Amino acid sequence: MDMGAEVGLEPVGGTIAVKTVGEKYEGIAFTFCKVATVCLLAGRFALPAAAWLSAGFYLLAWFKGKRDTRCILKWPLLIAGFWIVVGAIAMFAILAPGAWQGILGRVGL
């Protein structure tokens, strides 16, 4: 059976590119390389920057017609909302660390 038929893909140019194990690991490494570069450039603002950029691109994907994703949360609008909240909490924690500690102290953490 054709591998493309198993996953519902039509081969382009008559061949299917199958990644080697090394290429798969390189793909994972490249993903972490991008994350590390953002952290290096953004420093302590890396989390809010990455969260808001992620939210922005998921919103763009939604408005351009993409209604599902590979992410565990599945829907671009849900993912964007999640990252907007995470970015806001991270930015609040960075800009007002004393207030953040006070909030955590009041709830017993």
pLDDT in tens, 91-100: 998 998 888 7
pLDDT reported for residue 1: 47
pLDDT tens digits, one per residue of 2-40: 554 555 555 556 677 888 988 888 988 888 888 888 889
| Domain ranges (residues) in the chain | 3-106
pLDDT reported for residue 106: 85
pLDDT reported for residue 8: 55
Instruction: Measure the CA–CA gap between 54 and 64, rounded to whole angstroms.
Output: 15
pTM of the model: 0.68
Write the DSSP assignment of 16-81 as a string of letters.
Answer: -----HHHHHHHHHHHHHHHHHHHHHHGGGHHHHHHHHHHHHHHHHHHTT----SSTT--HHHHHH
Q: How confident is the model at residue 81 (pLDDT cuts 50, 70, 90)?
A: very high
